[in-house]
Structure 1
């Protein structure tokens, strides 16, 4: 149940709200002032660099018109302006100088304002023949002064800054040399910066800007007087002048602000300006205030969050102290109640101890009976294993015994026919099979425990050859054909020779059973080396393995044969032998029919074959 807040807590809550309000109001103003001052400092640096760049560019070209005016060829031309040869030579000279200095245009104007030679004389847009008497730079130079003027070219329609100087011939002014420098390169150097840089003329019209849409827009109202002065000099040729929608303001009467409402977008800028009296320009650096105001807002939000966290921490601390006092009171009450209950339970425990002693005696008797039962189960397990091993021995000896009987019968027939050499060969084979049966007996005995035989490199070709001898009688009885393909490279696997042979005998015998009586009685044995392993496959062309028995085919005593035709131990023994070799044995149905048994064993170096070679 929540307790009502005390008067003291209400006081602290009210104080916290007052602090937050004061922090939001005064902190916002202070943070905004700090970040705007930082922006202004950065903007002043940008402004100084922009002014220095513009001033340096202008100072670079300012003395050049006077130097060209002192050229003898120019003076000779102005003395005889209609001489074609002098004009051609003058045009070539101005083009050479223009290319060398990488300026925009250089041209010479006669006293009547007509251009007689120009560096662009051979271009589609040429100044030759144009009259520029209306330009202030011509009017100043024809009076004997150096002229400076920036404007949009009426012929080239390119912005540029014009320098002019009079040409004195025989003590009289006989013409004017004009040098034009384009401002596009300077303007392009501003692109990509964080701040906006614009240049305005004395009428407040933007002459240079990073944004093309701001060009020829005025920051000041375009009064009739301003329009008339601009039109008289044709400063902007046929460009359309308009007013840029701006609203002036300030921050704390220290920083100048300007809001531009352009194309449905409103942007506030911090404005820093510097006048270039010689050029007649005003350089303005506009810094977007969104970053400063966002930083200020973030700072205030962080301060409010810190204050809130501090207040929350204090509130949590007070709550913990109150809860601690309440918990201590509850613990005192609980301790008293516990002491009372301990006294009650002590009596009950005495009765329980008596019952426990009786139960312990009964459990000891039960444990003795359990140990006796476990011993009986172990003995029964041993007897079951012994029975399985006896069945395995009977199953595994059937195949060699059948081969022995066949060879013995053949030997008797051969002796009757006086073919002693062939009979001797059968006797030798019977002896070999007897040795092999002894070896099989030894390995099947080890099947019930971990074999002591060490695994090593086994020549797969020899194992397959011995296997063919054992299963020859079964293949003949089933009229089946065993096709062996061991590849071109001799293969050796990590295994035991006799046990691996026994696995192949079991699998091939099962395959012979599967194809007996069918039209296609081929059995295909193939071996290939693959990525450090040897893959042995045995495929028959029988009916395959049914899905219902695929998971049980390697279980002991599981067989699909009729009664008396098998114990169902062959594949189980084979599976455990391959597992003991560290390999795997699996079966699946071949896509073209029949069962496909796959044995995967670790590949080894064929040391036996190498020693023979």
Structure 2
């Protein structure tokens, strides 16, 4: 009891230590991972800023160079000259295609566009007035101007470079170079970081998250909206505030944004681009940071817990060792009594096992006897079904013999001995025929007591034909036999295999009776170490509803008095005793096909040697 109390007190102290370490430890771990994440986000921010600055710097000197072109100077000197306009339009279109910029256009000092690279397009700038744009106003005063906006005519975002066109030191017009930055924005989509660029009013105009476009990260006050509307920076786009809140942790700026019904926290780093008057921001989802902090904290707690568990296990083992010593003393006194009880129990169990073995052996003998009786009953039932046909088969030779006897007597009376001798030969042949039928019926009806060995299929089929020929005549069926050359031999019992064939062929005769095609095919084929014997008819086939029950005992689809329902069940068990299999399928063009698979045996002559 004292030992358990000590263990309980130790566990309570361990839990108290874990609780005390949880909150400060989590905060320290979060700050540590936040510092690491800030370094990674800073690298991404520098790359984004460098990409933007590099992209824009490619086009910055171009407006001033194009403004110095003679065709451009002549156009602003004589803006109403259509020939000069056409020449300038063609030149601007060629330069725009070469530089892969968005648009290039020339304006007069009143803001009217007189030439543009898209002069022949559906959104041509020619004739449009852009005097309200800050880039025009600054360039008209003689400065190199920059401006980002959503085009009011093309409705495409772009960055505008504007330069004054001087003729003899006099500003006669303004040339504007519009750069498409969609390619940079497209590279931000689907990355690890969310990147956006905001204007001086805090409105996002570039982002890899389309749902944030034209959202304000600063309050959209009336002054900001008025300044944005005055320059028509975003044309008719709807401006909206970005649903966000801001906080700071350990010198890091964290913003929380409601995004699609879910709230996400981001570590945010920003960089102001002085030349473009932009602010580039990189946002990194802090869920991974918190997950790493939780993982580290869990690892620490697990370490503390494992240490406490080790101590508890050591104390518990000591207590168990002492208890085991006491249990061993008690167990020794009980062991002899248990051994005696178990020995008595085993003796009773052994006696019951011996009795059960005797009962099972007796049951097996009875089962074998019952199976043999069922086989014999099946054969006799088959003979009973064919009794009428067999009677006709025997009566016909008897009637013929009677006729031949009467005829022979008349011939002898007339002293026609040779003709009478011929009649006697015919009578002898009929008697041989009747003896052959009787012998086959006697062999078929007797109880088999044969061992499994090599059996010739040809011999078994010949004996089978003697028995089923009468039934085939009644059904007007034709038996087509193809056992191959030479005939195969199988491992079986001759009489029992004959019974299987009689059952299946008789069923086939019943099936084709009344049909147009009354052929029954018996085909044997070798397949390696197996011989496959198929019996196929052209009858109605086996209905799917009874396919699983066709080999069950006492199951029959024939009428009352036409069988016991044992033939196929007995045949199935006979083939299984031979180590083979019996199955039935429906042929593709109609009829049932019984498939007997048996082990191949050496030829009978070889077996005899």
**TM-score by shorter chain over 0.5:** yes
- After superposition, residues 362-511 of structure 1 pair within 5 angstroms as 407=397, 410-411=400-401, 413-418=403-408, 420-421=421-422, 423-431=424-432, 434=435, 447-452=448-453, 454-458=454-458, 465-467=465-467, 471=470, 481-486=474-479
For residues 130-170 of structure 1, the C-alpha deviation after alignment (integer angstroms, 9 at most, x for no partner) is 33334332333334432222123343343211112222323
The alpha-carbon deviation at position 199 of structure 1 amounts to 0.5
- 1:125 and 2:123 are equivalent in the alignment: yes
Assess, with a 3 A threshold, how the Cα gap between structure 1 residues 260 and 580 changes in structure 2: closer, same or farther. closer
Q: Which residue of 1 aligns with 2:520?
A: 526
Assess, with a 3 A threshold, how the Cα gap between structure 1 residues 586 and 225 changes in structure 2: closer, same or farther. closer
Q: Which residue of 2 aligns with 1:543?
A: none
The alpha-carbon deviation at position 99 of structure 1 amounts to 3.0
Q: Which residue of 2 aligns with 1:90?
A: 88
The alpha-carbon deviation at position 102 of structure 1 amounts to 2.9
SS at match of 1:481: helix
Assess, with a 3 A threshold, how the Cα gap between structure 1 residues 498 and 322 changes in structure 2: closer, same or farther. closer
Assess, with a 3 A threshold, how the Cα gap between structure 1 residues 396 and 146 changes in structure 2: closer, same or farther. closer
For residues 193-252 of structure 1, the C-alpha deviation after alignment (integer angstroms, 9 at most, x for no partner) is 232111012333322123344333332345566556545544334445454344332221
Q: Is the contact between residue 494 and residue 601 of structure 1 (CA under 8 Å) also seen in structure 2?
A: no
- 1:209 and 2:207 are equivalent in the alignment: yes
Note the residue ranges of structure 2 that are not aligned, 5 or more in a row: 409-418, 526-531, 541-548, 585-590, 604-609
Q: Which residue of 2 aligns with 1:325?
A: 322
**What TM-score do you get using the length of structure 1 for normalisation?**
0.70
Separation in 2 of the partners of 1:79 and 1:567? 120
Assess, with a 3 A threshold, how the Cα gap between structure 1 residues 506 and 218 changes in structure 2: closer, same or farther. closer
Separation in 2 of the partners of 1:404 and 1:222? 117
Separation in 1 of the partners of 2:423 and 2:479? 30
Q: Is the contact between residue 553 and residue 569 of structure 2 (CA under 8 Å) also seen in structure 1?
A: no
**Which of the numbers 162, 170, 173 marks the counterpart of 1:172?**
170
The alpha-carbon deviation at position 510 of structure 1 amounts to 10
For residues 168-189 of structure 1, the C-alpha deviation after alignment (integer angstroms, 9 at most, x for no partner) is 3234332221101133332222
After TM superposition, the structure 1 stretch with the greater mean CA deviation from structure 2, 276-285 or 403-412, is 403-412
SS at match of 1:417: helix
Q: Which residue of 1 aligns with 2:553?
A: 551
The alpha-carbon deviation at position 586 of structure 1 amounts to 9.8
Aligned length: 539
The alpha-carbon deviation at position 88 of structure 1 amounts to 1.5
Q: Is the contact between residue 525 and residue 537 of structure 1 (CA under 8 Å) also seen in structure 2?
A: yes
- After superposition, residues 60-99 of structure 1 pair within 5 angstroms as 60-99=58-97
Assess, with a 3 A threshold, how the Cα gap between structure 1 residues 282 and 486 changes in structure 2: closer, same or farther. farther
SS at match of 1:187: helix
The alpha-carbon deviation at position 48 of structure 1 amounts to 2.3
Assess, with a 3 A threshold, how the Cα gap between structure 1 residues 422 and 484 changes in structure 2: closer, same or farther. farther
Separation in 2 of the partners of 1:29 and 1:421? 126
Separation in 1 of the partners of 2:566 and 2:274? 112
- After superposition, residues 128-139 of structure 1 pair within 5 angstroms as 128-139=126-137
Note the residue ranges of structure 1 that are not aligned, 5 or more in a row: 541-546, 555-559, 588-595, 609-613
Q: Is the contact between residue 258 and residue 270 of structure 1 (CA under 8 Å) also seen in structure 2?
A: yes
Q: Is the contact between residue 125 and residue 156 of structure 1 (CA under 8 Å) also seen in structure 2?
A: yes
Separation in 2 of the partners of 1:462 and 1:447? 18
**What TM-score do you get using the length of structure 2 for normalisation?**
0.70
The alpha-carbon deviation at position 69 of structure 1 amounts to 1.6
Separation in 2 of the partners of 1:521 and 1:155? 87
CA RMSD of aligned residues (A): 5.4
Q: Is the contact between residue 481 and residue 521 of structure 2 (CA under 8 Å) also seen in structure 1?
A: no
Separation in 2 of the partners of 1:104 and 1:297? 49
Q: Is the contact between residue 539 and residue 597 of structure 1 (CA under 8 Å) also seen in structure 2?
A: yes
The alpha-carbon deviation at position 408 of structure 1 amounts to 5.9
- 1:291 and 2:288 are equivalent in the alignment: yes
Q: Is the contact between residue 121 and residue 128 of structure 1 (CA under 8 Å) also seen in structure 2?
A: yes
Assess, with a 3 A threshold, how the Cα gap between structure 1 residues 414 and 5 changes in structure 2: closer, same or farther. same
**Which of the numbers 5, 30, 33 marks the counterpart of 2:28?**
30
Q: Is the contact between residue 206 and residue 214 of structure 1 (CA under 8 Å) also seen in structure 2?
A: yes
